[in-house]
Amino acid sequence: MFNFKKWVPLCCTLGAVWIIIIYYRSVRLNRYHCIRKTILNRDDLSA
């Protein structure tokens, strides 16, 4: 038989880590796009 007491915390930990990684990557991508937009807009204003 499976020992659920060992597997439940492991699954919860892996799930939490996975969510944190996805959230961190999405935030980093959004920040990068915002920076690119401001740079592009600044170039448009100066042109």
pLDDT, tens only, 1-47:
667 777 788 888 999 999 999 999 988 888 878 888 877 777 655 54
Q: Which residues fall within 8 angstroms of residue 38, CB to CB, at 6 or more apart?
A: none
Q: How many domains does the chain contain in total?
A: 1
- What per-residue confidence (pLDDT) applies to 28? 86
φ/ψ (deg, to 5) at 2: -70, 145
- What per-residue confidence (pLDDT) applies to 23? 92
Instruction: Name the percent of the chain in helix, strand, coil, to the closest 5.
Output: 90, 0, 10
DSSP 8-state code for residue 2: -
- What per-residue confidence (pLDDT) applies to 18? 94
pTM of structure: 0.52
**Domain limits for position 29:** 4-45
